[in-house]
Amino acid sequence: MKRCALALAAVLWAGSLFAQQGALEGKWWKRPVVARQLELTPEQTAQLEKIFARTKPHLIDLRAELEKKQFEYEQAMSSEKVDRKAIESLIEARENARAALQKQLALMELDMKQVLKPEQRERLMQMRENARRMMQQRRRRLREEGLEDEAPPRKQRRQR
């Protein structure tokens, strides 16, 4: 029962976090609340959408590639006979796939920033920073309030 209550708290907490943080992730330019706060014009929204549409096929391929590499790595790690060299190259392949995905996302972000005016860019960064801070505060609160009676203090756990 305690576990269920904890899970419920987690779901509620995650829900509210994602309502704040999630609004600034994914297709943020299509969310009415974000578009209004940034004062995006219909032209800007269309341009942002065009950049995403151009990037989308690459994202699909790169995500699939990364998931494939991650799967291969997990398979190799869980096999009876683990070949260190093979694992090394699988990790390298996986991280290369991840880097390619990061690069694509960064380039898309860069193109999108060109569409925004300096004050809109500033506002977006500020909104993201606020959401990040709020998440940190809530996580800290969860740790302080929720874990005090269940887990030993952090210092003790370190010593184990």
Residues that bind other proteins (CB under 8 A): 3-4, 6-8, 10-12, 14-19, 21-23, 25-27, 30-33, 52, 56, 59-60, 62-63, 66-67, 70-71, 74, 78, 98, 101-102, 105, 128, 132, 135-136, 139, 142-143, 146-147, 150-151, 154, 157-158, 160
Complex with other proteins: residue 68 or 117, whichever CB lies closer: 68
Catalogue the long-range contacts made by 37-44 (C-beta closer than 8 Å, 24 or more residues apart): 37/123, 37/127, 38/116, 38/120, 38/123, 38/124, 39/120, 40/120, 44/115, 44/116
User: Shortest distance, CB of residue 123 to other proteins, whole angstroms?
Assistant: 17
User: Shortest distance, CB of residue 110 to other proteins, whole angstroms?
Assistant: 14
User: Shortest distance, CB of residue 47 to other proteins, whole angstroms?
Assistant: 16
Look up tokens 């096929």; give the residue.
57
Q: Tokens representing 119?
A: 């004050």
| Spatial contact of 101 and 63, defined as CB atoms under 8 Å apart | yes
Complex with other proteins: residue 114 or 156, whichever CB lies closer: 156
Look up tokens 């030993």; give the residue.
152
